[in-house]
């Protein structure tokens, strides 16, 4: 299902999330991936700590088992593997949100894929959520 949301309405998005979920967030730069990730972590998973973009740290951990990845700066899967992050995604207790998942998509299958697309209105996004 594809729906249009104003960026200020992202808080209206609901999603069932379970341990073991790997959520891929697809979209161009400034499409709202981090904004949506913040909403999911704080309002759906009920983590009260501040959520910041992991662009320069590659991932942030929230609570006991919630991981937010931003793989934009990685150029190939070998970098991901060398750091040992595949263990995080393979752990059935973890919940992982992955921005820019293209380099790991051949190796890991998401349980949820979210596609964010810009529209003619810079304050709106088309958001498609697919649970597999």
Q: What is the pLDDT of residues 86-103, one digit of tens each?
A: 899 999 999 999 999 999
Full set of structural domains in the chain with CATH: 2-131 (3.40.50.300)
SS3 content of the chain, % helix, strand, coil (to 5): 25, 30, 45
Q: What is the pLDDT of residues 17-45, one digit of tens each?
A: 999 999 999 999 988 899 899 989 998 88
> From residue 55, how far is each of 13, 58, 59, 119 by CA, in Å?
24, 5, 8, 24
> From residue 41, how far is each of 38, 78, 82, 106, 121 by CA, in Å?
5, 28, 27, 25, 26
Q: Give dist(CA 105, CA 122) in Å, integer.
A: 28
pTM for this predicted structure: 0.89
What does the pLDDT read at residue 76? 86
pLDDT mean over 71-79: 88
């Amino acid at each position: 299902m594809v729906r249009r949301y104003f960026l200020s309405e992202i808080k209206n998005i609901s999603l069932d999330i379970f341990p073991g979920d790997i959520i891929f967030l697809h979209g161009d730069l400034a499409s709202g991936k981090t904004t949506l990730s913040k909403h999911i972590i704080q309002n759906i998973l009920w983590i009260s700590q501040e959520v910041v973009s992991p662009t320069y740290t590659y991932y942030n951990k929230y609570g006991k088992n919630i991981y937010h990845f931003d793989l934009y700066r990685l150029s190939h899967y070998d970098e991901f593997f060398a750091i040992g992050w595949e263990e995080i995604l393979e752990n059935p207790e973890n919940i992982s949100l992955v921005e820019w998942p293209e380099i790991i998509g051949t190796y890991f299958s998401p349980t949820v894929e979210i596609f964010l697309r810009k529209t003619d209105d810079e304050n709106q996004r088309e958001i498609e959520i697919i649970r597999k």
